[in-house]
């Protein structure tokens, strides 16, 4: 049996199970789903568990296939390592650019867990700066690529 047929059968199986779980939700009373924990547990929990396992399977497959591709192609491994190092440098720059100032609500009261010096504040600030740096770099490459395209035309 070809791999494509096996994959098609696997996808069909996933679709049938997903459709069955989805139909069970529509068959249950909406008020019961919202208010009765037993109904929630019997109707909603199975589709969440199924979706979670599908997510883990997809992530695992992506990681394994990427690792196999990198092992088979050492030149690609060098490029990937260089990219990870570049992202690490940008993350380090974002970490030292970020701050851990207190986080306050609109009334000026410091939120619980948002005290000055909190590691959570530091990492949230780092994430914001990291996103900004990556956005600026992506925008610069977009403009450069656009200019290259205009020059070639």
Q: Provide the whole-model pTM.
A: 0.60
52-95 pLDDT, tens digit each:
999 999 999 999 998 898 889 888 888 989 999 999 999 999 99
pLDDT at 142 > cutoff 90: yes
CA 132 to centroid of chain Cα atoms:
17
- Greater confidence (51 vs 40) lies with 51
* pLDDT at residue 84 in the model: 94
21 contact partners, CB below 8 Å, separation of at least 6? 46, 47, 50
Domain ranges of the chain: 1-72, 75-153
* pLDDT at residue 87 in the model: 97
Alpha-carbon distance values, 78 to 71, 73, 82 (Å): 11, 9, 6
Alpha-carbon distance values, 119 to 58, 105, 123, 135 (Å): 32, 19, 6, 24
Cα atoms in the Cβ-side hemisphere of radius 13 Å centred on 11: 6
* pLDDT at residue 112 in the model: 76
């Amino acid at each position: 049996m070809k791999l494509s047929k096996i994959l098609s059968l696997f996808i069909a199986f996933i679709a049938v199970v997903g459709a069955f779980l989805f139909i069970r939700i529509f068959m249950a009373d909406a008020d019961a789903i919202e208010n009765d924990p037993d109904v929630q547990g019997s109707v909603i929990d199975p589709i969440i568990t199924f979706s979670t396992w599908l997510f883990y399977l997809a992530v695992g497959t992506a990681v394994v296939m990427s690792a196999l591709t990198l092992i088979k192609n050492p030149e690609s491994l060098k490029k990937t390592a260089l990219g990870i190092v570049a992202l690490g440098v940008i993350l380090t720059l974002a970490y030292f650019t970020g701050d851990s100032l207190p986080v306050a609500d609109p009334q000026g009261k410091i939120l619980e867990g948002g005290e000055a010096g909190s590691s959570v504040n530091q990492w949230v600030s780092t994430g914001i700066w990291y996103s900004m740096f990556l956005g600026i770099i992506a925008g610069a490459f977009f403009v450069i690529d656009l200019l290259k395209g205009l020059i070639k035309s």
